[in-house]
Amino acid sequence: MTISRLVPPLLALVLAAVHARAAEPTPWGQRDPSFSFQFGNDFDTHQRTREARDGSLSGFLYVSFTGVVTQDGYPVATHVDCNMSANCAVGWRIDGRPARATFVHHPMHDHPVFMLPRADIPQPGSYSHFHWTGPLVEQADPPADGYMLQLTAMNRFCFIHHDVMAMAATSAANCRDNGGVRVDRGVDIATHLNIVTAPSHHE
């Protein structure tokens, strides 16, 4: 085979490798200045996102693995302050769109619940988590500014939201019995779902 025939396949392999590397998330300890968007609350201890010109967000949500593997074969992971831990890895890719939502209530050991009109949920997609900007004000009025987030899992794990509960997880029980949610690679609407809908208002 001549060199001229080898060049196109080799070039394709090189370009594919460069593209794959560019798509890889930056490890937590290696700061990429372009991923500098801040929500202004505890969410910033385990997220890295960047803001596009149209106001949308893209980035990554991180978890810490506890070392426990559940009975059904899922490594246990939770959110921690990644600035204080050397054990943070990417759990999800984040895609976000600006939104406003009304605070409803805050269940113990879970995400605050917000309400917004169905028409305000971005389409197409699987946007299931509203996260506010600034300190959380637990009152219904006025609505909170924030972002609707779509999460795509990049790893396979048992997610337990509250870190204390995650640290108590045992390999003698399956993920659900440990109080967790099984996560497989792909779109995830279960782990961070925190919205309810209200009728859209016609003006």
Name which residue leads in pLDDT, 22 or 193.
193
Joined together, the tokens standing for residue 67 give 């070392």
**Which pLDDT score, from 0 to 100, does residue 25 have?**
65
Task: Tell me how far apart the terminal alpha carbons of the chain are, to the nearest angstrom.
Answer: 70
Average pLDDT over residues 109-117: 93
Find out whether 139 and 103 touch, Cβ atoms under 8 Å: yes
Position 11 scores a pLDDT of: 42
User: What's the pLDDT score for residue 198?
Assistant: 80
Burial class (CB in 10 A: 0-12, 13-18, 19+), 148: buried
What's residue 5's pLDDT? 53
Q: Please give the sequence-ordered ranges of beta strands (E in DSSP) within the chain, or none if there are none.
A: 47-51, 57-69, 75-78, 88-105, 113-117, 127-132, 144-153, 157-159, 181-183, 186-188, 195-198
Q: Please write the tens of the pLDDT for every residue from 143-165.
A: 999 999 999 999 999 999 988 89
What are the pLDDT digits (tens) for 67-102? 999 999 999 999 999 999 878 999 999 999 999 999
| DSSP, residue by residue, 130-185 | EEESSS---SSSSPEEEEEEEEEE-S-EEE-SSHHHHHT--TTS-TTTTT-EEE-S
Instruction: Lowest mean pLDDT of 43-47, 104-108, 178-182, name the range.
Output: 104-108
Report the amino acid identity of residue 107: P
CB atoms within 10 A of CB 59: 24
Mean pLDDT, to the nearest integer, of 105-129?
94
Domain range list for the chain: 37-198
- What is the tens place of the pLDDT at every residue in 5-55? 544 444 444 333 333 333 456 667 666 788 999 999 999 999 999 999 999
Tell me: pLDDT of 201 over 80.
no
Which residue has better confidence, 132 or 27?
132
